[in-house]
Structure 1
Amino acid sequence: MEQFLNDLVLQYGYVGLIVALAAGIVGIPVPDELLLTFVGYRVAQGYMSYTVALLCGFTGAMLGITISYVLGLKLGLPILQKYGRKVGITEEKINRTHTLFEKYGPFLLMIGYFLPGVRHLTAYFAGISTLSFRKFSFYAYFGAFIWVSLFVTIGLRLGENWHFVSYCIHHYGAMLTLTVLFLGITWWIYIQFIRKTKQNQI
């Protein structure tokens, strides 16, 4: 895996980062978190710029999530069910994300990046449900910024030990997913509570 990431970054640089992240979010099998962490490691080595890496990573994530949204908006669920399996998007993942999106709506766009098998589908369902582009972009792009910044910075701080992220994802992926989901739902409930409190005061 390290050789693949090294070749990708060395040969295609920042452009490769943009294209790979966009493809990964659309559904092509790409180790997104590992790629971002490796880029952070390259920043630590002095081969890449931290600011440019963040901008390119954000651009790739934003591009990929927007393409998914447009596909969902224009083509709907049938195209996802028909061709999704070819890029690893199974019926089980589709049903699970659909259920989550019905419960938590656009908020899932923001935390979906941290949920394996979910970030590839949230934008599709945002498009399928005809969520307005303004609302979609607010949640999706904000989540992309946090996601990209977090993993690039982790790679920068870990340096030579950047592989530790791969170990954590492999061994504690389910636990991390549940933790992020719990924190996200708690935050969402808190925001809703504050909003209702303000409405009652008016």
Structure 2
Amino acid sequence: MSIEEFLTAYGLAAIFVVMLVKGIGIPIPIPGDLIMIVAAAQVAIGRLVLWQAFVVILVAMVAGGSVQFLLARALGRKFLYRVGGYVGLTHDRLDRVSATMQKSGPLALGITLVTPGIRSAAVPAAGLAGLPYLTFFIGALIGSALFLALHFAIGLIGGPLIAFVMSAINLPLIIFIAAFFAIGLIGWMLMRRRARGATLERLGDFADAACPVCLAIGATEHLRHAAIRPQTNI
């Protein structure tokens, strides 16, 4: 079964469950970025309704993020230190983002959720920072809506092409490949445990920057700095 057939068969319910689980922070071998883009591509070819798809995914992202936030706040720093390292959330990364979050409002949190390099640490760090839930909720709503809108823009623009590619890719194959690399990555991380801090910091940076939207944001920032640099040398 291809991803396109999977979404056609199970529809928005399947999308909601996958995005909710990923929002909670449970690692599953189905890329959330791919789900968002494919959902938008389904909208582009008329198989899904735009507002329904957008709202369902947004609710799943915010609900999942809320669960992760409340768990981080309840379980505390020691627990996150213990398990966070396996997904690139090192002590230093969590402490830095958490310190920033203590002075942040909803808008700053929303921006953090779409910023490469710190995006994956934003939700647990907000929990450690002790932000009020209402502040987190508004920030998560802003950031998730922006992040989702950017992915939807990609899917809507390239809808027919994306739908064609997805129809040729089997879902079990994607899951198998993702699981294979995940197992290999875990083994590599365990072997590199002595150099864990620097290694996992780079892993977290890669995970943040691997999504299409993050690549676009990073490229924009690079071009902006490149344009400014000659002016500062004059």
Query: Matches of 1:67 and 1:7 in 2, distance apart?
Result: 30
Q: Is the 8 A contact 1:65 1:123 kept in 2?
A: yes
Cα deviations across residues 81-123 of structure 1 (Å, max 9, x unaligned)?
33335xx52343x532431342354555313333457434311
Q: Provide the residue aligned with 1:53 in structure 2.
A: 53
- Indicate how the Cα distance of structure 1 residues 173 and 152 shifts in structure 2: closer, same or farther if over 3 A, else same: closer
Q: Provide the residue aligned with 1:24 in structure 2.
A: 22
Larger Rg: 2
Query: Matches of 1:176 and 1:52 in 2, distance apart?
Result: 27
Cα deviations across residues 153-184 of structure 1 (Å, max 9, x unaligned)?
321121133499xxx95799567347569x9x
Secondary structure of 1:138's aligned partner: helix
Q: Provide the residue aligned with 1:42 in structure 2.
A: 42
Query: 1:102 aligned to 2:99?
Result: yes
- For 2:93, give the aligned amino acid: R
Q: Provide the residue aligned with 1:82 in structure 2.
A: 82
| 5+ residue gaps, structure 1 | 184-202
- Indicate how the Cα distance of structure 1 residues 72 and 177 shifts in structure 2: closer, same or farther if over 3 A, else same: farther
Large movers: runs of 4+ above 4 Å: 168-175, 178-181
- For 2:46, give the aligned amino acid: G
Q: Provide the residue aligned with 1:141 in structure 2.
A: 141
Identity fraction in percent: 20
- For 1:22, give the aligned amino acid: L
Query: Matches of 1:118 and 1:20 in 2, distance apart?
Result: 22
Secondary structure of 1:114's aligned partner: coil
Which has the larger displacement, 26-35 or 124-133? 26-35
Question: In the TM superposition, what is the alpha-carbon distance from 1:55 to its structure 2 partner?
Answer: 0.6
Cα deviations across residues 116-147 of structure 1 (Å, max 9, x unaligned)?
57434311111111101121111111111111
Q: Provide the residue aligned with 1:152 in structure 2.
A: 152
Q: Provide the residue aligned with 1:197 in structure 2.
A: none
| TM-score (norm: length of structure 1) | 0.70
Q: Is the 8 A contact 1:24 1:32 kept in 2?
A: yes
Q: Is the 8 A contact 1:25 1:120 kept in 2?
A: no
| 5+ residue gaps, structure 2 | 166-208, 225-234
Query: 1:176 aligned to 2:176?
Result: no
Aligned residues: 175
Q: Provide the residue aligned with 2:11 in structure 1.
A: 13
Q: Is the 8 A contact 1:22 1:61 kept in 2?
A: yes
